[in-house]
A and B are shown apart, each in its own frame.
Chain A
């Protein structure tokens, strides 16, 4: 049933696209030169806006610096062709190279910064270039710019023919981005936007992914810059100015971020506005200023976001994240004939477990201090294959901090941590995950705007090298998809695999939380209050699920719910004010007076 609806949607979409394409090809023949030149600008800025959307809409990186890569490519073309008389065969590759190099440098400098600072850094870099282009009159012609840039080849001399050329480039760019967005790498970008922390603990080198997409976006911006220089045959410092960067952002926002068609629409609207407002209003700049303000208050999700939600959902707008690949799943998926509750959540035994009993996790004198607060102090623990240990303790005892230390989200102030005998104290979270460490979160940390299936995929991809693949749709990674199917079926979530996580019940989310972690094939599993907030029945299901796990896994579990805790675990560590209060077997701890007093407060049967 679902499959049929989706087919209809994608056919509808395809029809619209074809109609638009036809219009884009036919109409310009009848346009007079001025509207044609505005249309050409629209196409060029559409590419620029799309490049920004890759960053903003898909990866959540808000950048005000795209003008830098746009402008440097344009200026390279200008300088090479007018000052040195070089042809496009030399100028274009160098221009693109310039964009890529600049983007790499910018990325290296700014990607590790968070939100606001990243924004300012991107702004300042492009502003510096603008300032330079203004002042360096001998190279760039200063504020009057460079003129007389010849078209690359004779055949493209006329505006109409050049228009078709750039339309072609737009289509190719859109196609490439489409593939990118559908690929595993594209999925990781969306994951990063939703929850960077989850991505890092799922095995992704988030910095690297951001770096790569930043450079890719810079390259596309460079393409737009090259086209701009050849199209207008004239450039001036405005291409590097704040206004260009801001307008690109305005285009993305007006059109709707996170979609590929949004920026194109936005480009059309903003370019049209710019060029036609001035015809009718002397102080048109004020109108533009008002638009900036209005967009923020009235249409933060873009013009399409103003449509009624029901209609939006039915047409598939704003949900490009979950469409056609789901169709493929419906078509390709085999009916699962595996026994439910297959004994092993991992289909293959991990290579890491060579002997029956091997040390998996060891903490020695681990501590963490925040300023004056000692969150964890002198914590020691050794776990082996098959260890099932629960960490108990009142709130503020340092349990979650302990998990953060083990996973690498916090760096310890003292002590060392060993995974499978190797010292990992200074290792980043994603490395630890790839070694076989997995962790769930106390507060559900999933990717709410993505489907259940995509959430599982992200869990699985984290430890696969195919996470960098950009050329295949993620729906075609059979091994990953199979694994996800198995896990989802295990948790009874297969039927809702196309639902957006944000729409799931809390209970389902908690289960998915576990599944996503399991998907990375961890040998050491840290469960942070897996039953938190669950009803009795749901807790039961959770316990069953945990019970399905391979007996060879090391499991550390933080729990308040004693039923769950003592069913799952064999050993107990009780923490109090950051230190170990007591440890031992379940029976020992149950009988421990001191623990009872401190923790339970009253007798517990």
Chain B
């Protein structure tokens, strides 16, 4: 019994990290139709940054703050410098972000070398927490908690604030929104910055768990893609549910079917593709 509790909780907490990894990615798609291939590269950069900050200052909080700022800043530069000119040209944006991925990852090699780096779990989050009969690593619970906080904040931002309303209006009908005086350009700027901050947050929180490593630019992209597609492209709620689902299936699946350990991560995707290709919370009008 406690084995199962541990397995499921492991899966759920891993799912928390997956959500944080994917949230920025799916937000970009949902709001601006931008498939930011460089999302994984942003993770790579900020995870290495977290390592640097942490090794210099021993402060995890500072690492988080700096990573979020770095991620946000880079995203803004990327948008203002390149993506803005390619408004409503999805393929062009994808190609450009692919180029950025290669460049950023290579700078990662130049500045930090090729080896993986892990950040030590910050003191307060290093041990285990006792939940009844189960003893569970604190850092994993932190990941889950962070995911919930991020999810709630995003939801509040989109559903309950004026900015969020403007954003939703622009998604529905951009011309109309412009016509009504909404500075759509600035709005998108702001939103893309948020996706960068989320990527930075993912880097900071992921660094002690996943580590910073060459190859992350594609590995993390894959994870973000998985979660986004299963959850429904553009849906933050969907991403949250999908992330938890993927985490649980991966964890439980590996235990139940060790021979299929390499499949477990993809099982939810395969199921979704078979039964509900638009994803759990996806928009159905993309199908004709």
Contact = CB atoms under 8 A, between A and B. Distances in A.
Direct contact of A and B (CB under 8 A): yes
Contacts of A117: 233, 278, 286
A127 B103 contact: no
Nearest to A106: B273
A114 B102 contact: no
Interface string B45-72: 0000000000000000000000000000
Given A64-B94, A120-B35, A296-B86, A286 B103 contact: yes
Contact of A121 (B85, B218, B263, B277): B277
Interface stretch (B116-124, B174-182, B222-230): B222-230
Interface stretch (A71-79, A131-139, A546-554): A131-139
Given A117-B233, A121-B229, A131-B266, A112 B35 contact: no
A135 B287 contact: no
10 contacts: A109-B273, A116-B29, A121-B229, A130-B222, A136-B262, A241-B218, A246-B95, A289-B102, A291-B99, A296-B92
B101 interface: yes
B147 interface: no
Nearest to B107: A286
A131 B215 CA distance: 12
Contacts of A288: 99, 102
Contacts, number: 111
Interface in B92-134: 92, 94-96, 98-103, 105-107, 109-110
Interface string A215-258: 00000000000000000000000000110001001100100000
B98 A120 contact: no
Looking at chain A's contact residues, the main secondary structure is: helix
A125 B225 CA distance: 10
B100 A132 contact: no
Contact of A127 (B95, B98, B225, B233): B225
A110 B272 CA distance: 12
Interface string B258-273: 0001110110011001
Contact of A112 (B37, B105, B218, B288): B288
Given A64-B94, A112-B288, A132-B266, A127 B222 contact: yes
Given A120-B233, A128-B269, A249 B95 contact: yes
A297 B95 CA distance: 11
B164 interface: no
Interface of B: 29, 33, 35, 37, 82, 85-86, 90-92, 94-96, 98-103, 105-107, 109-110, 218, 221-222, 225-226, 228-229, 233, 261-263, 265-266, 269-270, 273, 277-278, 286-288
Interface string A113-151: 111110111011101101110011100000000000000
A443 interface: no
Interface in A286-303: 286, 288-293, 295-297, 300
Given A112-B287, A296-B86, A246 B91 contact: no
Given A289-B102, A293-B96, 17 more contacts: A114-B286, A117-B278, A117-B286, A120-B229, A124-B226, A128-B266, A130-B222, A132-B263, A132-B266, A135-B265, A207-B288, A246-B95, A246-B98, A285-B105, A290-B103, A292-B102, A293-B95
Contacts of B288: 112, 114, 207
A124 B91 contact: no
A121 B35 CA distance: 12
How many interface residues does chain A have, given as a range? 35 or more
Question: Which of A137, A242, A291, A297 has the most chain B CB atoms inside 10 A of its CB?
Answer: A242
Contacts of B82: 293
A62 interface: yes
A283 interface: yes
A300 B92 CA distance: 9
Contacts of B94: 64, 119
A115 B29 CA distance: 13
A124 B90 contact: no
B213 to A, nearest CB: 13
A130 B32 CA distance: 27
Contacts of B278: 113, 117
A62 B92 CA distance: 11
Nearest to A253: B95
A454 to B, nearest CB: 24
Given A114-B286, A124-B229, A136-B262, A289 B95 contact: no
A329 B43 CA distance: 58
Contacts of A119: 35, 90-91, 94
B92 to A, nearest CB: 5
A293 to B, nearest CB: 4
A283 B110 CA distance: 8
Contact of A135 (B29, B105, B262, B273): B262
B49 to A, nearest CB: 19
A474 B286 CA distance: 33
B33 A292 contact: no
A62 B269 CA distance: 21
